[in-house]
């Protein structure tokens, strides 16, 4: 059996095909080889998560330090329990606070962490207690409208009294 | 009078029975191919040769069409997205539409007209010139020697071609979005990366193209093997290959999409 030029072309074809699949997985789907032993999980309970989704980024000072791995409703407290899987190289203190923020006005929502001052750090499976919920635009507008009309009517009665 | 009434009915019945007959035969044919694949994969150089003719020679058309499809997606996507002020999502739009739908489907359509029709014509002519019968006489199984290598070549080539189509399409979208229109390259890629999932999009797209590869190649080799052994019969079989594969690709795509996404 001799090697022929057809073998070369087919070899090239298969090699380019494999390269294309690798490109699609690494560059397009951003597959980071992050196995379970490189991350640890923390929990955080929120009153309202707004539009937060699984796989949303977790950021500290704008740097992505992990991803949201699961979201479920705690059926005792009726709060949303968000699991954060964080990179092992980052430690967070016990009084770290978590809030749900929005990138831009209508952008995707992410979890923002704010490091506290406690020297003890959170271990795998522990909970972040200081949380603040997502800003829901409708509620915000509703609050603004009621305070706006309320303030206006107070002013008009004050002027009527004068 | 009665004859005039009955003849369309009779033709309808004939067409239906014939279609079911062919469906049964194609199923038996698939099992025959799988049964004799062991023999033909032992002589893998036959399959290599067919990968060259079906896969390598289709690369040019797949790459060029992929580039153009990506560029059109870039232009059209930018026009629509910028109307809603979200032109940043162009990378995600281009990548998702290519990976999920356009890449596998268009690559399969191109493959069926570029390589599938050639397979049908080749096998049909072998049958018309009685080469298949000659093989049987020499105790060479024509399914193991002729059909199975072509089938496996198609099944192997199709996902590779679809992946190439996707990469070229994303490159085309990049050319239009970033190089020509001037979107930020970082946003283009990061939007794409945060919205494309390895399993849901990339792997499902490859599974789709694998299914299309099986369907298209099976139709092509079957139509060739089943062709009426005349010049007109081979040409009719070639036409049927292209038409049937196009319909089957779109129907299978609908079913797979309903299951996957």
The predicted-structure confidence for A21-65, as pLDDT tens digits, reads as follows 988 888 877 765 555 567 888 999 988 888 888 778 888 888 888
Q: How far is CA B60 from CA A21, B20, B134, B166, B242, in A?
A: 18, 38, 36, 14, 19
Closest CB to A10 among B51, B164, B206: B51
Q: How far apart are CA A96 and CA B14, in angstroms?
A: 77
Closest CB to B201 among A14, A29, A55: A29
Tell me the pTM: 0.75
Q: How far apart are CA A11 and CA A48, in angstroms?
A: 55
Interval A82-104: pLDDT, tens = 999 888 888 889 888 998 888 77
In this predicted structure, what is the pLDDT of residue B169? 96
Average pLDDT over residues B109-123: 95
Task: Please name every residue paired with A64 in a beta bridge, in sequence order, or none if there are none.
Answer: A59
- Eight-state DSSP code of residue A56: -
Q: Identify whether the C-beta of residue B215 lies closer than 8 Å to the C-beta of residue B105.
A: no
Contact state of A20 with B164 under an 8 Å Cβ cutoff: yes
In this predicted structure, what is the pLDDT of residue A35? 52
Chain B CA closest to residue A7? B48
Residues of chain B with C-beta less than 8 angstroms from the C-beta of A6: 48-49, 52
Contact state of B202 with A21 under an 8 Å Cβ cutoff: yes
Residue A123 makes CB contacts below 8 A (sequence gap 6+) with: A40
Q: Report residue A152's pLDDT band, with 50, 70 and 90 as the boundaries.
A: low
Which run of H or of E encompasses A18? helix A5-23
Q: Where are the domains of chain B?
A: 39-260
Does the complex come out with an ipTM higher than 0.85? no
Which of B104, B163, B186 is the mutation pick for testing A, counting most A CBs within 10 A? B163
Contact state of B198 with A21 under an 8 Å Cβ cutoff: no
More confident residue, A145 or B34: B34
Q: Does B55 touch chain A (CB under 8 A)?
A: yes
Q: Identify whether the C-beta of residue A80 lies closer than 8 Å to the C-beta of residue A48.
A: yes
Q: Which of B33, B201, B242, B21 is nearest to B118 (CA)?
A: B242
Residues of chain A with C-beta less than 8 angstroms from the C-beta of B45: 1, 7
Q: How far apart are CA B245 and CA B218, in angstroms?
A: 9
In this predicted structure, what is the pLDDT of residue A6? 87
Q: Identify whether the C-beta of residue B212 lies closer than 8 Å to the C-beta of residue B218.
A: no
Place of tokens 């000072």: A61
Q: Report residue A67's pLDDT band, with 50, 70 and 90 as the boundaries.
A: confident
Interval A112-133: pLDDT, tens = 998 888 888 888 888 888 888 8
Q: How far is B20 from chain A (nearest CA, A)?
A: 38
Q: Identify whether the C-beta of residue A47 lies closer than 8 Å to the C-beta of residue A14.
A: no
Task: Please name every residue paired with A39 in a beta bridge, in sequence order, or none if there are none.
Answer: A87
Q: Does B163 touch chain A (CB under 8 A)?
A: yes
Chain B CA closest to residue A56? B194
Q: What is the DSSP string of B90-144?
A: HHHHHHHHIIIIIHHHHHHHHHIIIIIHHHHHHHHHHHHTTHHHHHHHTT--HII
Q: Identify whether the C-beta of residue B202 lies closer than 8 Å to the C-beta of residue B102.
A: no
Which of B46, B53, B55, B56 is the mutation pick for testing A, counting most A CBs within 10 A? B56
Contact state of A16 with B192 under an 8 Å Cβ cutoff: no
Encoded tokens for B69: 């499809």
CB atoms within 10 A of CB B32: 16
Interval B203-234: pLDDT, tens = 999 999 999 999 999 999 999 999 999 999 99
Average pLDDT over residues B102-131: 95
Residues of chain B with C-beta less than 8 angstroms from the C-beta of A10: 48, 51-52, 55-56
Q: How far apart are CA A65 and CA B66, in angstroms?
A: 36
Q: How far apart are CA B160 and CA A104, in angstroms?
A: 39
Q: Report residue B88's pLDDT band, with 50, 70 and 90 as the boundaries.
A: confident
Contact state of A12 with B159 under an 8 Å Cβ cutoff: no
Residues of chain B with C-beta less than 8 angstroms from the C-beta of A16: 59, 160, 164
Average pLDDT over residues B46-56: 92
| B 21-40 → A contacts, CB under 8 A | none
């Amino acid at each position: 059996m001799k090697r022929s030029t057809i073998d070369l072309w087919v070899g090239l074809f298969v090699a380019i095909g494999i390269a294309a699949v690798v490109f699609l997985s690494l560059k397009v789907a951003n597959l980071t080889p992050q196995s379970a032993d490189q991350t640890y999980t923390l929990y955080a309970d929120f009153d309202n998560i707004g539009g937060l989704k699984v796989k949303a980024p977790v950021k500290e000072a704008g740097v992505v330090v992990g991803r949201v791995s699961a979201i479920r409703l705690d059926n005792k407290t009726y709060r949303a329990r968000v699991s954060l899987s964080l990179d092992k190289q980052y430690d967070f203190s016990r009084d770290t606070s978590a809030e749900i923020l929005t990138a831009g006005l209508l952008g995707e929502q992410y979890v923002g962490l704010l490091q506290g001052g406690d020297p003890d750090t959170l271990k795998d499976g522990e909970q972040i207690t200081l949380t603040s919920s997502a800003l829901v635009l409708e509620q915000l507008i509703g609050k603004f409208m009621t305070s706006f009309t309320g303030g206006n009517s107070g002013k008009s009665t004050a002027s009527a009294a004068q | 009078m009665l004859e005039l009434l009955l003849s369309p009915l009779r033709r309808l019945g004939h067409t239906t029975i014939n279609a079911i007959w062919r469906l049964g035969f194609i199923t038996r044919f698939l099992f025959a191919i799988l049964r004799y694949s062991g023999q033909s994969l032992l002589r893998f150089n036959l399959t290599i040769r067919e990968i060259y003719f079906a896969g390598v020679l289709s690369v040019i058309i797949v790459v060029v069409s992929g580039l153009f499809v990506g560029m059109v997606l870039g232009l059209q996507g930018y026009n629509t997205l910028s109307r809603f002020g979200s032109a940043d999502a162009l990378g995600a739009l281009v990548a998702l539409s290519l990976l999920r739908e356009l890449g596998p489907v268009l690559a399969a359509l191109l493959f069926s007209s570029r390589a599938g029709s050639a397979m049908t014509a080749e096998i049909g002519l072998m049958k018309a010139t009685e080469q298949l019968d000659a093989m049987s006489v020499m105790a060479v199984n024509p399914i193991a020697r002729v059909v199975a290598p072509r089938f496996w070549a198609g099944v192997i080539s199709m996902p590779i071609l679809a992946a190439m189509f996707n990469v070229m399409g994303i490159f085309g979208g990049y050319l239009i979005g970033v190089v020509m229109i001037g979107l930020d390259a970082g946003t283009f890629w990061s939007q794409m990366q945060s919205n494309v999932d390895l399993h849901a999009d990339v792997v499902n797209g490859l599974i789709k193209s694998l299914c299309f590869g099986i369907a298209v190649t099976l139709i092509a080799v079957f139509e060739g093997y089943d062709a009426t052994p005349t010049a007109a019969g081979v040409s009719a079989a070639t036409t049927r290959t292209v038409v049937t594969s196009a319909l089957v690709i779109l129907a299978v795509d609908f079913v797979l999409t309903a299951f996957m996404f």
